[in-house]
Amino acid sequence: MGAVTEQSFVEAGSAMDGDLPGQVRDTLATYLEARIAECETLDPEITKAAETLARFVLDSGKRIRPTFAWWGWRAAGGPGEGPEAEAVLRAAAALELVHTSALVHDDLIDDSDTRRGKPAVHREFATRHSNARWDGDAKHFGMAAAILLGDLALTWSDDMFHSAGLAPDALARGLRPWRSMRTEVLAGQYLDVLGQVRKSPTVHSALRVNELKSASYTVQRPLELGAEIADSSSPTLEALRRFGSDIGVAFQLRDDLLGVFGDPAVTGKPAGDDLREGKRTVLIAEAFDATHQHGDHRAADLLSSVLGDQTVDDSRVEQVREMLRCLGAVTAVERRIAALTDSALEALTDGCLAEPAVTHLRELAVAVTERTR
């Protein structure tokens, strides 16, 4: 019969293996609808605020973390349908609420105007304040609302995870990565903030932030979560961890490149947004390293002056882009992405992981490291 093609692997999967983003969205919609109905007993204003949160969750999002959690479950031999699989999908969807909380609070911390091409939550509530001509400072009201709605999303993520319907032993195993992940993402965000205010970031410290904030949080822990719920063997878990760690860092490196070179029409963020925010990414750290090696003080000064400067215009962004290319920082980051992706794909080949998960993880690895948004 010859070798099995990729396509036939995919077809060997269950109905639940298809359109995971759509299924995750539907699961979230059902959950949030019930929570909003409960809010109606509290106060109409709470219902309104919770509806805003729900729109933010449901309107868009790539559902990367729930998708990795699903494939972790399937890679470790978890069935692709039935009540257990449905409980796993609900537990995986809860990751999206953790992520909502992180985005809402992150946008506030970074003072970002937009998210996914729409006003960030703190801006949305500041606008409501202005439109209604309420007392006090609109920006401050926006901040307060964003803090509280981010907290609500974090709280509901736990409620959703614990009420997903996992068997007690599966839940206990899943709680290990769940617990680690939620501390690690906050740790990564804190180190990120600290990196922005401290002088002279190193490639090493920028990579540490990436490991915590992205590798662990976006890929590795979600994969582990699914695998642990499936009562994975140690070699399977180990292979998923290796894959997840590499792809997660590569994912963030791609994000760093998009933060400077991305097309606003595609990313939904202004051009060169990371420069304005003064983000100390691996890309920036590589550039500083190169200026030191070449003794190029002019380039170092230009980069320092642009980072965190809110008033930087498009022509100056273009100037920095050109410089990052000339210094070899872009090539260095692309090389890292390629090496990490190769290493991740190799981790999939050692035979511990079940199909069709391997095929889908291979596709996801390429998709998240070559994406344009």
Are 320 and 303 in contact by the 8 Å Cβ rule? The answer is: yes
**Exposure string over 304-342, b if 16+ CB within 10 A, otherwise e:** eebbeeeebeeebbeebbebbeebbbbebbeebbeebbe
**Least spacing, CB of residue 313 vs a second copy, in Å:** 21
**Rounded to 5 degrees, what are φ and ψ at 349?**
-95, 0
| Of 151 and 350, CB closest to a second copy | 151
Exactly one of 189, 214, 220, 369 binds a second copy (CB under 8 A); that residue is 189
209-268 residues near a second copy, rule: CB under 8 A? 212
**Least spacing, CB of residue 259 vs a second copy, in Å:** 18
295-354 residues near a second copy, rule: CB under 8 A? 308
111-130 residues near a second copy, rule: CB under 8 A? 111, 129
| Of 148 and 366, CB closest to a second copy | 148
The DSSP code for 133 is: T
| Rg, C-alpha atoms of the chain | 21
Stretch near a second copy under the rule CB under 8 A, chosen from 23-31, 141-149, 320-328, 340-348: 141-149
Sequence letter at residue 84? E
Q: Please state whether beta strands 114-115 and 118-119 pair in parallel, antiparallel, or not at all (unpaired).
A: antiparallel
Stretch near a second copy under the rule CB under 8 A, chosen from 88-96, 153-161, 218-226, 328-336: 153-161
Whether the CA torsion 246, 252, 255, 256 is positive or negative: it is negative
Are 289 and 267 in contact by the 8 Å Cβ rule? The answer is: no
Are 142 and 125 in contact by the 8 Å Cβ rule? The answer is: yes
| Of 43 and 350, CB closest to a second copy | 43
Q: DSSP labels for 5-61?
A: PHHHHHHHS-GGGS-HHHHHHHHHHHHHHHHHHHHTTT-HHHHHHHHHHHHHHHH--
Work out whether 208 is an interface residue with a second copy (CB under 8 A).
yes
# binding residues, a second copy (CB under 8 A): 55
Exactly one of 10, 29, 85, 143 binds a second copy (CB under 8 A); that residue is 143
**Rounded to 5 degrees, what are φ and ψ at 93?**
-65, -30
Work out whether 62 is an interface residue with a second copy (CB under 8 A).
no
Burial label for 77, CB within 10 Å (0-12, 13-18, 19+), is middle
Exactly one of 5, 155, 331, 372 binds a second copy (CB under 8 A); that residue is 155
Exactly one of 4, 19, 30, 198 binds a second copy (CB under 8 A); that residue is 198
**Least spacing, CB of residue 145 vs a second copy, in Å:** 7
Work out whether 165 is an interface residue with a second copy (CB under 8 A).
no
**Least spacing, CB of residue 7 vs a second copy, in Å:** 42
Are 246 and 341 in contact by the 8 Å Cβ rule? The answer is: yes
| Residues binding a second copy (CB under 8 A) | 35, 38-39, 42-43, 45-46, 49, 101, 105, 108-109, 111, 129, 134-136, 140-141, 143-145, 147-148, 150-152, 154-156, 158-159, 162-163, 168, 175, 179, 182-184, 186-187, 189-191, 193-194, 196-199, 208, 212, 278, 308
